[in-house]
Amino acid sequence: MTAKKLFLGLLIAAAALGFGTLHSSANSNTKKAVTFSKDVAPIFFKNCADCHRANDIAPMSLMSYKEARPWARSIKEKVVTREMPPWSPDPKYGEFANDHRLAQTDIDTIVAWVDGGAKEGNPKDLPALPAFTQGGWQIGKPDVVLSMEKDWVVEVNAPDNYINFWIPTNFKEDKWIQAAEIMPGNRKVVHHVIAFIQPAKMAEARMNAEKTGKRTSNNNQQASMMYWDGTLRRVKMDAPVVDNTCDNQAMARRAGGGGGEEQEGALLAGYAPGKGLDVWPVGTAKKVPAGSYIMFQMHYSAFRGGLLKPEIDRTKLGLIFAKEPPDKMIYTAGVVNATFKIPAGDGNHEVVACMTVPRDIELLTYMPHMHLRGKDMRYDVIYPDGKKETLLWVPKFSFNWQTMYYLKTPVKIPKGTKVIITAHFDNSTKNKYNPDPTKDVRWGDPTYDEMMIGWFDMLLDNPTKNMAAKTGGK
Ligand code: HEC
């Protein structure tokens, strides 16, 4: 390029820029001022309400002008840097239906609102508050609501607790669930909830064990690795260590630290701040066999380092039934490594777990699960033909929002594919959430221990439906 051409190019670029600026300022003079009621509230209600409402995980509500106004400056900063709304996966891999990232036009609107003095505008322009912020169900009116039968009280400065509650479904026949929503009774103390489907026999054995204080493991190998610390299950510090269980099947089998079906039953639904709802595509559903119990596994945690008064919780689960038996049933599986040990001070400790897929499946969701030292997690697959693909890459895992990533379209995985979950943990002083960088860390329920689970929802053919079709039955 000659000097003259370069100069010309710069001139044109400068003119374009100049023109752009002129053009937009002329534009904003003629455009009406951006207001909270008309322009900004719809964005907040849609993209921030999950967490920024009264008594939820975020430090403040943004559901009214009065509440949002003092935060205007900070809001501008957090949306421009895309720290808010939080969204952890690298967009290079996978397309997700619940991708909450703001459109650039929304960011521009928020910036214009703040720069224009964060005006309220006419309250008549306000859209309706999202129903769920008023205590309503997000999934719509449930066909059945299963509730904890008594209150649980979290005392001021209570330690972390895992408490199980069993609720009989009293279902007389098998039920197919289209949508499920866990509604925490008290979001200040309900850290997360998992609802498991347990056959009556399993549930009764577990309830009995709790009553007699004899908590047991169904799996002898696990029992030898684990111990009970109050209500919390933890791996013994001196249990055998395998950080990568992929080539060690014996260890992989011992690895079901939590969430294994034989231990807890099949997973029905989960709640964690910002996780999203368990609503499954029409034609797919989760099965709850007749007579089952639902076990709520409640993780209670004193909110933000302490409570001012004891807090009471009574959590419930709303279920919507499928209109007819589905073609495909949804099954949740976790690829787990529970035999790792993270050395004190280690800033980048790698832990790997694998699973070889026993039949053709379609993946619906991904949900990485770790605790406060969790740094990143990657889901990779190696197909039977040797081709490798990354399904999910979460480079900055956040314990605060354990999002479930809902694939826009299910991903087909043929039988024999190897799924590899790779996680890193930061047990150094650099990790500001680290409860104690001087301690070696193993698997355990409490947030000061660690976990390593790559959860999936997958679609399987519904054998009952197909059998009925084959025999011509209904
Ligand atoms: C998934 C939950 C979630 C969503 C959705 C979300 N936030 Fe947040 N937000 C949080 C949490 C939790 C914090 C506190 C962060 C911390 O303590 O590290 C926070 C912090 C903030 C802060 C900083 C507050 C401070 O102390 O300075 C701002 C500003 C903010 N959010 C704005 C927004 C806006 C605007 C939206 C929507 C466009 C949004 N957030 C969506 C969870 C969320």
Q: Is the CB of 71 under 6 A from ligand 1?
A: yes
Q: What is the pLDDT of residue 22?
A: 37
Q: Relative to the CA of 71, which ligand 1 atom is closest?
A: 29
Residues 32, 43: Cα–Cα separation, whole Å? 18
pLDDT in tens, 338-348: 999 999 999 99
pLDDT in tens, 178-223: 999 999 998 888 888 999 999 999 899 888 877 776 555 544 545 5
Average pLDDT score over residue span 443-458:
90
Q: Relative to the CA of 100, which ligand 1 atom is closest?
A: 5
pLDDT in tens, 2-17: 444 433 333 333 333 3
Q: What is the pLDDT of residue 304?
A: 56
Residues 371, 445: Cα–Cα separation, whole Å? 9
Average pLDDT score over residue span 463-474:
48
Question: How many angstroms does the Cα of residue 85 sit away from the middle of ligand 1?
Answer: 6
Q: Is the CB of 272 under 6 A from ligand 1?
A: no
What percent of the chain has a predicted confidence (pLDDT) above 90?
55
Q: Is the CB of 74 under 6 A from ligand 1?
A: yes
* Spatial CA neighbour of 40 closest among 150, 120, 143: 120
Average pLDDT score over residue span 351-363:
92
Name which of 170-179, 251-260, 264-273 the model is least confident about: 251-260
Q: Is the CB of 51 under 6 A from ligand 1?
A: yes
Question: How many angstroms does the Cα of residue 144 sit away from the middle of ligand 1?
Answer: 33
Of 1 and 340, the structure prediction assigns the larger pLDDT to: 340
Q: What is the pLDDT of residue 17?
A: 37
Question: How many angstroms does the Cα of residue 55 sit away from the middle of ligand 1?
Answer: 13
Q: For residue 7, what are the contacts with CB-CB under 8 A and spacing of at least 6? A: none
Q: Whose CA is nearest to atom 32 of ligand 1?
A: 75
What percent of the chain has a predicted confidence (pLDDT) above 70?
84
Question: How many angstroms does the Cα of residue 147 sit away from the middle of ligand 1?
Answer: 30
Residues 142, 152: Cα–Cα separation, whole Å? 24
Q: Is the CB of 79 under 6 A from ligand 1?
A: yes
Q: What is the pLDDT of residue 324?
A: 87
pLDDT in tens, 380-434: 999 999 999 999 999 999 887 778 899 999 999 999 999 999 999 999 999 999 9
Tell me which fold the domain 137-219+256-326 belongs to. Answer: Jelly Rolls (2.60.120)
Amino acid identity, residue 40?
V
Bridge partners of residue 164, in order along the sequence: 297
Confidence of residue 252 (pLDDT cuts 50, 70, 90): low
Confidence of residue 446 (pLDDT cuts 50, 70, 90): confident
Question: How many angstroms does the Cα of residue 437 sit away from the middle of ligand 1?
Answer: 27
Q: Relative to the CA of 60, which ligand 1 atom is closest?
A: 24
Angle (CA) 159 164 168, round 5°:
155
Angle (CA) 175 202 324, round 5°:
10
Give me the phi and psi of 319, to 5 degrees please.
Answer: -125, 140
Question: How many angstroms does the Cα of residue 54 sit away from the middle of ligand 1?
Answer: 13
Residues 224-248+327-474, CATH architecture: Sandwich (2.60)
Q: Whose CA is nearest to atom 26 of ligand 1?
A: 59
Give start-end residues of each CATH 2.60.120.230 domain in the chain.
Answer: 224-248+327-474
Q: What is the pLDDT of residue 253?
A: 54
For a ligand 1 pocket test, name from 78, 109, 271 the mutation site with the most ligand atoms within 8 angstroms of its C-beta. Answer: 78
Average pLDDT score over residue span 38-47:
95
Q: What is the pLDDT of residue 263?
A: 62
Average pLDDT, the chain: 84
pLDDT in tens, 314-329: 999 999 999 888 988 8
Confidence of residue 363 (pLDDT cuts 50, 70, 90): very high
Q: Is the CB of 358 under 6 A from ligand 1?
A: no
Average pLDDT score over residue span 435-462:
91
Q: Relative to the CA of 401, which ligand 1 atom is closest?
A: 1
Question: How many angstroms does the Cα of residue 58 sit away from the middle of ligand 1?
Answer: 6
pLDDT in tens, 141-179: 999 999 999 999 999 888 778 889 999 999 999 999 999
Q: What is the pLDDT of residue 86?
A: 87
Of 42 and 276, the structure prediction assigns the larger pLDDT to: 42
Q: Is the CB of 400 under 6 A from ligand 1?
A: yes
Name which of 69-83, 105-119, 259-273, 326-340 the model is least confident about: 259-273
Q: Is 243's pLDDT higher than 70? A: yes
